[in-house]
């Protein structure tokens, strides 16, 4: 049943397929078909002409992103170990924390710390701070010019002066009670201590308690003396404390 035309057709199909493949191979053979070889060469030339020469920038990009050689980093910069507790932190996270609790930014905080640590007899080493900023502070990724460092330093100083005047007026104007003022000072002290600890300052429990006691004592004196300035009496109307006010302090009319 398999003999006859079906068997012949099978053999014919194999032979024809073989012949077709042979013909296609001959088309790609330059010696067998020189016209096809010339056409392929022409298309290759057109592709080469239409493709612009582009420089290999992979090595350049790798070199620009590479950290500076160890020999180019000053020794005191290599030894600087502040801010290591937030080595994996980002600028945005540090900035968000500071914005919620202070008037300063992460940039101003970092540069203020560096200006205090890299101060010499002739002034602050702003060029060194700016050029090595990413090496000094983990969450700072860009270098700064000396002008940018000075600008951040001046902004920090201005905000501290403004905040200081605001706080001292709040303490002296009798807006806060003694207990409320203690709460304000406690919160401010906790934030300040936390920032110092993040920078790498180690404070013992005894040192923290001593600092809190001194601050509370100073603020009590501020409040008492501010009460003497606000009232002609030598006795504070809030706590009954009596002051040894001079005639000038008491507003003696005899001095007019």
pLDDT digits (tens, 9 = 90+) for 111-148: 999 999 999 999 999 999 999 999 999 999 999 999 99
Give Cβ neighbours of residue 118 (< 8 Å, ≥ 6 apart): 76, 124, 125, 128, 129
- Say what percent of the chain tops pLDDT 70: 61
Prediction pTM value: 0.61
Buried b / exposed e across 5-25, counting CB within 10 Å, b at 16+?
eeeeeeeeeeeeeeeeeeeee
From the list 50, 52, 27, 56, the residue with the least C-alpha distance to 40 is 27
Would you state the pLDDT for residue 27? 47
Q: How far apart are the C-alpha atoms of 158 and 112, rounded to whole Å?
A: 12
Contact at 8 Å (CB) between 158 and 165?
no
Would you state the pLDDT for residue 48? 43
Would you state the pLDDT for residue 237? 56
Would you state the pLDDT for residue 254? 43
Q: At 8, phi and psi to the nearest 5?
A: -65, -40
Determine which of 47-56, 61-70, 83-92, 120-129 has the lowest per-residue pLDDT on average. Answer: 47-56
Given a cut of 60, whether residue 44 has pLDDT beyond it is no
What mean pLDDT value characterizes the chain?
75
The domain limits of the chain are: 14-48, 75-143, 173-256
Contact at 8 Å (CB) between 77 and 132?
yes
Would you state the pLDDT for residue 212? 84
∠ CA(92), CA(98), CA(103), 5° rounding?
Answer: 125
Contact at 8 Å (CB) between 55 and 92?
no
Q: How far apart are the C-alpha atoms of 149 and 151, rounded to whole Å?
A: 5
Other CB atoms within a 10 A radius of the CB of residue 93 amount to 13
Would you state the pLDDT for residue 21? 47
Would you state the pLDDT for residue 70? 56
> Where do runs of H (alpha helix) occur along 81-177?
91-101, 106-117, 126-131, 133-136, 146-172
Tell me the pLDDT tens digit for each residue of 163-190: 999 999 998 888 988 889 888 988 998 9
Which of the two residues, 87 and 235, has the higher pLDDT score? 87
Mean of pLDDT values over 58-78: 63
3-state secondary structure of 239: coil
């Amino acid at each position: 049943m398999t003999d006859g035309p079906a068997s012949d057709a099978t053999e014919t199909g194999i032979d024809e397929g073989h012949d077709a493949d042979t013909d296609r191979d001959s088309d790609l053979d330059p010696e067998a078909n020189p016209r096809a070889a010339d056409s392929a060469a022409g298309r290759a030339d057109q592709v080469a002409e239409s493709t612009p020469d582009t420089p290999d920038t992979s090595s350049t990009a790798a070199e620009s992103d590479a950290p500076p050689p160890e020999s180019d980093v000053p020794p005191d910069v290599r030894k600087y170990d502040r801010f290591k507790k937030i080595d994996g932190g980002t600028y945005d996270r540090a900035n968000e924390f500071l914005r919620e609790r202070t008037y300063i930014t992460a940039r101003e905080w970092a540069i203020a710390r560096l200006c205090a640590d890299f101060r010499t007899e002739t002034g602050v080493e702003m060029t060194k701070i700016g050029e090595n900023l990413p090496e000094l502070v983990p969450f700072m990724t860009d270098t700064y010019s000396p002008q940018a460092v000075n600008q951040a330093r001046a902004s920090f100083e201005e905000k501290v002066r403004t905040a200081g005047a605001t706080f001292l007026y709040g303490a002296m104007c009798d807006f806060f009670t003694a207990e409320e003022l203690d709460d304000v000072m406690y919160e401010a002290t906790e934030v300040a201590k936390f920032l110092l600890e993040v920078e790498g300052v180690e404070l013992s429990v005894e040192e923290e308690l001593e600092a809190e006691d001194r601050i509370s004592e100073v603020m009590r004196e501020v409040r008492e003396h501010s009460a003497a300035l606000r009232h002609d009496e030598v006795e504070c109307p809030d706590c009954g404390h009596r002051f040894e006010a001079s005639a000038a302090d008491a507003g003696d009319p005899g001095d007019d």
